Chains A and B, each alone.
Chain A
Amino acid sequence: MNGPARRWFEEIEVGEAYESPGRTVTEADIVLFAGLSGDYNILHTDAEFMKASIFGERIAHGLLGLAIQSGLFTRAGIPYATLGAGTLRWKFKGPIKIGDTIRVRAKVAAKKATDKPDRGVVTVERQVLNQRDEVVQEGETDLVVERRPAG
């Protein structure tokens, strides 16, 4: 039986690059993420207070942007046979505001074997861009990806 298409560790090449579709971040996304995470920081929830801030309005949680790009990445090509995330190194460069449309641009920076024979680690460099092509977030993620099963 063939399951959904997934790419094994062996099939992924260093230097491969992808760009995802865009996704508009809505007020509902921010409200739902506040509810899920329990993070009701005024940056994300108090429209009046934020009018006087350097941002001029509510901004999305940085980790909401991270979660959205993670989903966009899976739509940027055939998904990897990912077992999980290993490590993340991430910078928040600018705000994501309600109505902004973000997409992820990604490149495979490195591959390495692990001490387990059934998996390897793929390092992906990522930039999250808004509709003005400004980089609002960027970083690297180390993904643990399955090798093709023998036989």
Chain B
Amino acid sequence: MVGPVQFYFEDVVLHGVLDTPAMTITEAHVSLVPALLPLCLTPGLGWRVNQPPLAVQAFMGFEWEVLHPVRVGDTIHSRSRTAVKRSMREGGVIIEERQVINQHGEVVQKGRFTFLVAKRPTA
């Protein structure tokens, strides 16, 4: 059986940078705590890059800084850079540095995400 196409631990390029497409924040979005909204939107933006989704087994944690407000009408995108790639017996740890950037090019939020990522299954 062929499973979903995923980007496995081995596929991740250390220091590789990915820019997502952008999204305009609308009034309809603001049903979450506004400061947490851009943070919550970054994983979804990550799905729109020209690369299969990371084979995340578990989201282990994150650190995050809110630097500037994001308002309705702003258009944000996300940039991530693989800062750490640590292989383990089963899977590996990937730490991504992630920024949320607005339409003026300002970094409005930033932080680090730590994921446990699957290795490619052996056939």
Contacts and interface: CB of A to CB of B under 8 A. Distances in A.
A12 B33 CA distance: 21
Given A63-B43, A87-B64, A92 B35 contact: no
Contacts of A139: 61
Contacts of B69: 84
A63 to B, nearest CB: 5
Interface residues of B, number: 33
Contacts of B86: none
Interface residues of A, number: 30
Contacts of A61: 43
Given A43-B56, A84-B66, A67 B61 contact: no
Contact of A92 (B33, B36, B61): B61
Interface of A: 33, 36-43, 46, 49, 54, 61-64, 66-67, 70-71, 84-92, 139
Given A38-B43, A92-B58, 15 more contacts: A36-B32, A38-B41, A39-B44, A41-B43, A43-B56, A49-B3, A64-B40, A66-B40, A67-B32, A67-B36, A84-B34, A88-B64, A89-B63, A89-B64, A91-B61
